[in-house]
């Protein structure tokens, strides 16, 4: 469950502005501010079930954006390549690291 929460929080960072205000605010409260469904419901004036449904629809929408656009996947690949280059530097292979970083920069 925690892994899903982390993924959803990251997707929210990437695609949150594409959600409706209501969806984005509910998700930000739930994932970033760690508020309970009841707390969000009280502050927004809707039922706990309404908050749950809103967050669930937002999660589905965020996953659809990722499926179509793939920004998180691209970010993770770039991050892995940067870590690989850092390992090369730490192992004294600065020539290979420089080449890896040049390729990464060109792709970005």
Q: Give the integer Cα–Cα distance in Å for 1 and 48.
A: 20
Q: Give the integer Cα–Cα distance in Å for 28 and 24.
A: 6
Question: pLDDT digits over 35-76, tens only?
Answer: 999 999 999 999 999 999 999 999 999 999 999 999 999 999
In this predicted structure, the answer to whether residue 108 has a pLDDT above a threshold of 80 is: no
pLDDT of res. 1? 64
Between 89 and 52, the more confident residue is: 52
- Contact between 53 and 27 (Cβ < 8 Å): no
CATH (one of 1.10.3720.10, 1.10.10.10, 3.30.70.270, 2.30.110.10) for 2-69:
1.10.10.10
Question: 59 CB contacts (<8 Å, ≥6 apart)?
Answer: 8, 27
In this predicted structure, the answer to whether residue 12 has a pLDDT above a threshold of 70 is: yes
Q: 3-state SS of 60-77? A: HHHHHHHHHHCHHHHHHH
In this predicted structure, the answer to whether residue 97 has a pLDDT above a threshold of 90 is: no
Report the chain's terminal Cα–Cα distance, integer Å: 32
Each domain of the chain, given as residue ranges in start order, spans 2-69, 73-107
């Amino acid at each position: 469950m925690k892994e899903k929460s982390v993924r959803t929080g990251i997707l929210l960072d990437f695609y949150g502005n594409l959600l409706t205000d209501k969806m984005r605010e509910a998700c930000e409260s739930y994932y970033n501010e760690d508020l309970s469904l009841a707390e969000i419901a009280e502050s927004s004036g809707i039922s706990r079930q309404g908050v749950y449904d809103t967050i669930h629809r937002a999660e589905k929408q965020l996953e659809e954006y990722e499926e179509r656009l793939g920004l998180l996947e691209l970010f993770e690949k770039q991050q892995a390549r940067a870590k690989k280059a850092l390992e090369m530097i730490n192992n004294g292979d600065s020539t290979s690291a420089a080449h890896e970083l040049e390729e990464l920069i060109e792709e970005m």
